[in-house]
Structure 1
Amino acid sequence: MSQSQAQKIIKSLKGLDKQLQPDEQPLLDIPGIWDNGKEKRSEAGDVVLTNQRVFGFYYRSFPREYLFLDAIPLASIKRVTLRQKSFEPLFRELSISDGERTVYVRSSRAKIEELYRALRSAIEEHAPTASEAFEQPQTTEERREAPSYERQEVSAKFDTSPLAITLLFAGGILLEVIGVILWSFTGSPQAGLSLCFAGFIAVITAIFVQRQRAR
Structure 2
Amino acid sequence: MISNVNTIFFDFDGTLHDSITVYVPAFNKAYNYLVQNNLAKERVWKESEICHWLGFNKVDMWKKFAPNLDEDVIEKVSKLIGDEMAFQIRSGYGYLYEGCSSILNYLKNKNYTLVFLSNCGSYYKNLVKEHYHLDLYFTDMFCSEEFNQIPKYEILRQLKSRYLDEMVIIGDRFHDIEAGTKNNIHTIGCEYGYCQNGELNNSDRIIKNINELYTIL
Q: TM-score range by the shorter chain?
A: under 0.3
TM-score (norm 2): 0.26
More strand by share: 1
More helix by share: 2
Larger Rg computed on CA atoms: 1
